């Protein structure tokens, strides 16, 4: 059996045109001597280049031979330096890769120290760092290799809590770029408003409805019962009020950007709401969201009766809608993302491949994979690995 030696060739210094071509030309010249490239990585920050190539040699190539090949290609010039280090071949059994995405209004040394200390404490290593966004929030994505994923997740969750960052840990793999279904709650998630509260203002029962809403969202009373009680207070309202309320709805900052980006990249957005089809359907048509599940109001003689029609979209109904939409668009549950803020979103968040609690109550955060505490809904895109640059290009 022929043994081999592994070298790490690192080229660094001021970036200039042609450095990569020169390095690989030098390594190509050694191909006949049994050298093979096994890995390549590069990063450039403000014109400072670090380009690494891991090469394997059948013990016919030495460090001096590689140095001579680099010198012949004039790589070491204009401030560029090259180092060649013999390294231990990587053990492919040293753990699987995870993606660690974290964001905050501003990420500084304290937050980065916490994240990297947690990675080290779990016996994991960071293989790659990508700065996904610098505005309106700071966001980084790390590729981390480790064998104890539970220990890593627990350590990172503690850091997120202590340093005030939003953080998600996901498995790496080709599924990341596959088609995803992204299901959002409407009230207080896609929308800044609670539709039923706006309807209550029209009938003069805002205080009563708001009190019931708060109890339902915090999980203190059953959502279906709370919905029936609130809708009963709307009896007698003219149906024209639905159009008035729709005109007052305000999208959450970043909502249009999120939907537009998902649609143009081939992802499927959907809305599952405890609100009402009569208000939401025209808005969803405007936003080109084809998948909507919501409750229906009974209307007789152009007035609301105070009753609902059909099956109620409650906590269980939202999870069922997510599964139904996933089947309709041909996406496995592992490639679904659910975003919500209330207790009636918990089953949906738990069923999805990635459940995101968006500015949610504590009881909801406990059941979600991750949370967003920033006010921008398009921050969801970062958990899909989509950078700010890609968002703006789209």
Residues classed as catalytic: 185, 187
- Interatomic CA distance for residues 76 and 271, integer angstroms: 57
- 9, 73 in Cβ contact below 8 A? no
- 224, 303 in Cβ contact below 8 A? no
Give the closest residue to 55 by CA, choosing from 75, 72, 34, 79.
Answer: 34
- Tokens 């990675």 correspond to 119
3 state SS of 332: coil
User: How far, in Å, are 95, 142, 146, 153, 384 from residue 171 at the CA level?
Assistant: 12, 11, 11, 11, 12
Give the closest residue to 354 by CA, choosing from 151, 142, 166.
Answer: 166
Structure tokens at 60: 């016919």
Bridge partners, residue 100, by sequence: 142, 169
Dihedral sign from CA coordinates of 26, 29, 33, 34: positive
With vertex at residue 358, the alpha carbon angle to CA 357 and CA 363, rounded to the nearest 5 degrees, is 45
3 state SS of 127: strand
* Residue 392 buriedness (CB in 10 A; 0-12 / 13-18 / 19+): exposed
- 344, 223 in Cβ contact below 8 A? yes
Intra-chain end-to-end CA distance of the chain, in Å:
52
3 state SS of 129: strand
Q: How many CA atoms lie within 13 A of 128 on its CB side?
A: 16
Phi and psi at residue 11, to the nearest 5°: -110, 125
- 122, 377 in Cβ contact below 8 A? no
- 234, 199 in Cβ contact below 8 A? yes
Strands 138-146 and 166-171 turn out to be unpaired
């Amino acid at each position: 059996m022929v043994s081999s030696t592994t070298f790490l060739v690192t080229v660094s210094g001021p970036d200039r045109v042609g450095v990569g071509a020169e390095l690989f030309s030098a390594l190509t010249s050694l191909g006949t001597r049994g050298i093979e490239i096994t890995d390549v990585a590069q990063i450039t920050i403000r014109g400072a280049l670090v380009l690494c190539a891991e090469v394997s040699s059948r013990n016919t190539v030495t460090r001096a031979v590689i140095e001579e090949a680099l010198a012949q290609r004039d790589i070491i010039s204009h401030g560029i330096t090259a180092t060649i280090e013999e390294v231990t071949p990587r053990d492919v059994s040293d753990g699987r890769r995870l993606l660690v995405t974290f964001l905050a209004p501003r990420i500084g040394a304290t937050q980065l120290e916490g994240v990297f200390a947690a990675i080290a404490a779990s016996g994991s290593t960071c293989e790659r760092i990508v700065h996904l966004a610098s505005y309106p929030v700071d966001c980084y994505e790390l590729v981390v290799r480790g064998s104890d994923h539970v220990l890593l997740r627990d350590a990172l969750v503690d850091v997120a809590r202590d340093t005030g960052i939003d953080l998600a840990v996901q498995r790496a793999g080709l599924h990341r770029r596959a088609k995803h279904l992204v299901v959002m709650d409407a009230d207080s998630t896609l929308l800044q408003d609670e539709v039923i509260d706006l309807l209550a203002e029209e009938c003069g029962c805002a205080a009563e409805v708001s009190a019931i809403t708060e109890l339902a969202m915090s999980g203190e009373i059953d959502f279906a019962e709370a919905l029936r009680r609130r809708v009963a207070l709307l009896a007698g309202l003219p149906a024209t009020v639905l159009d008035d309320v729709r005109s007052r709805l305000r999208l959450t900052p970043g909502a249009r950007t999120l939907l537009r980006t998902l649609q143009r990249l081939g992802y499927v957005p959907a809305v599952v709401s405890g609100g009402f089809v009569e208000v939401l359907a025209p808005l969803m048509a405007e936003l080109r969201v084809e998948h909507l599940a919501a409750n229906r109001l009974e209307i007789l003689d152009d007035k609301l009766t105070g009753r609902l029609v059909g099956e109620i979209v409650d906590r269980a109904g939202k999870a069922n809608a997510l599964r139904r939409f996933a089947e309709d668009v041909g996406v496995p549950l592992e490639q679904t993302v659910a975003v919500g803020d209330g207790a009636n979103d918990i089953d949906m968040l738990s069923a999805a491949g990635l459940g995101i609690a968006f500015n949610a109550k504590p009881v909801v955060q406990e059941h979600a994979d991750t949370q967003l505490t920033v006010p921008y809904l398009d921050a969801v895109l970062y958990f899909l690995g989509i950078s700010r640059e890609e968002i703006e290009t789209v």
